Amino acid sequence: MDTHDFDFTLPPELIAQTPALQRDQSRLLVLDRASGSLSHRKFSDLPEYLRPGDLLVLNDSKVIPARLRATNSASGGELEVLLLEENGPNDWWAMVRPGKRARLSNQIAFKSRHPGAPDGIHATVIEQNSEGHRRLLFSGTANLFEVLPMLGEVPLPPYIQRPPAANLAEDLARYQTVYAEASGSVAAPTAGLHFTTELLERIRERGVHVCAVTLHVGAGTFAPVKVAKLSEHPMHEERYVVSEEAAQAINSANREGRRVMAVGTTAARVLESVSSSNPGQIAPGAGRTRLFVYPPYQFLTVDVLLTNFHLPQSTLLMLVSAFAAPGETRGRELVLSAYAEAIRERYRFFSYGDAMLLL
């Protein structure tokens, strides 16, 4: 398929710049994949679509305050550093802008962003990879992870145009799921942002089982598809972990014919990545995935998908289209038709926007 097959026009004012006042009061567009029918609901109505015995699979990755402000120690030039992945204590891959101010062996001095933040945090550029990312070796702290909450800020997506500092405390709380545990993402698994602890309790009371896997969302989730043919797109890599407990819960649901509902494309990507390499079974363990799901694709584990509304021509929109229906065209047509309806009804799009349930 071609990238332009997944294009649509979105009025800029529908790109959500702030979260809903209450997490579960965002809107929910429900798509029945068999009939193509659409229903307009509130997210708090989600339990009505769940059955006793269903398994809800969350992504419990936690967003880290990965955006740091810095200067080149020699020239004083301003830098923005986005941490991407930890190699070990004080050893990180990062995206540094502008890159010309962060050459090999350059020293970088980091600015304090919050009261009580430590001074004297520095890093040395020790490596550069083919993507232009820098490997930074930090000093001035025993473990950068421990001081990040005082040093960094939430790395809001590029389509949120307001300054992060304008509402720093709210973003720190709201650009995070209520069940986040495993630190490592630089972008939120946004389908989970709508859940409250009370809503999750209501879901459990209906006899729905809940488990979590981990996929650390990387900056590549925002990377545009730059090629015309999808088969030529170099998919970004992300780290995942599946616990023994989660693997048992998912395999049990599959054996017993109970529905597995993935909360977000990130949870779906973990499940499909693992099951595709283990003949339909979920094996516990950690790994990295480059799985690129686009039509036609036969899902092995996911029966129901909860997701947000995604960018035009994005890999996430392609995954949702593949899930909507088998074959190359029907799923894409269903999803783009649903998106057109969402635009007419003034739904809010992207990370802080509304949600969509595909049954």
Which residue among 118, 151, 184 closes a domain? 151
Q: What is the pLDDT of residue 154?
A: 85
Mean pLDDT of the chain: 92
What share of the chain in percent tops pLDDT 90? Answer: 72
Residue 335 and residue 220 share a domain: yes
pLDDT for the residue numbered 165: 52
- Are residue 21 and residue 139 in the same domain, yes or no? no
Tell me: pLDDT of 346 over 60: yes
Q: Are residues 50 and 94 in the same domain?
A: no
Q: Residues 73-80: what's their mean pLDDT?
A: 88
pLDDT per residue as tens digits for the range 141-197: 888 888 888 888 888 888 988 765 555 677 888 999 999 999 999 999 999 999 999
Quick one: average pLDDT of 110-136?
84
CATH of the domain at 80: 2.40.10.240
Based on the fold, state whether residues 188 and 270 are members of the same structural domain: yes
Least confident of 279-283, 292-296, 330-334: 279-283
How many domains does the chain fold into? 2
Selection from 188, 199, 342 nearest residue 267 by Cα:
188
Looking at the structure, tell me whether residues 41 and 81 fall in a common domain. no
Domain shared by 147 and 185, yes or no: no
Q: Which of 116, 151, 186 is the last residue of a domain?
A: 151
- Residue 111: pLDDT band with limits 50, 70, 90: confident
Per-residue pLDDT for 81 more than 90? yes
So what's the pLDDT on residue 114? 66
User: End of a domain among 86, 116, 151?
Assistant: 151
- Give the pLDDT mean for 326-338: 94
222 and 341 inside one domain = yes
What pLDDT score was predicted for residue 282? 96
The answer to whether the beta carbons of residues 7 and 319 sit under 8 Å apart is no
Which of 5-19, 157-171, 289-303 shows the lowest per-residue confidence on average (mean pLDDT)?
Answer: 157-171
261 — phi, psi (to 5°)? -110, 115
Distances (CA, A) of 286 to 47, 62, 276, 282, 283: 31, 16, 15, 12, 9
Average pLDDT over residues 304-313: 97
pLDDT at site 75: 87
Reported confidence tier of residue 275, pLDDT bands at 50, 70, 90: very high
201 with 144, same domain: the answer is no
Q: Are 216 and 97 in a shared domain?
A: no
Domain, as residue range, for 242? 3-63+173-358
317, 353: one domain: yes
Nearest of 191, 180, 161, 155 to residue 350 by alpha carbon: 191
Average pLDDT of the residues in 231-250: 93
With cut-offs at 50, 70 and 90, classify the pLDDT of residue 307: very high
Residues 133 and 245 in one domain: no
pLDDT of amino acid 117:
63
| pLDDT of res. 331 | 95
182 located within any domain: yes
**Pairing between strand 182-185 and 61-63?**
parallel
Say if residue 56 is in the same domain as residue 96.
no
Residue 107 lies in a domain: yes
Say if residue 309's pLDDT is above 90: yes
In a domain, 157, yes or no: no
Please tell me the pTM assigned to this model.
0.92
Contact criterion met (CB below 8 Å) for 141 and 131: no
Note the pLDDT of residue 99: 84
Give pLDDT, residue 116: 63
Q: Is residue 43 part of a domain?
A: yes
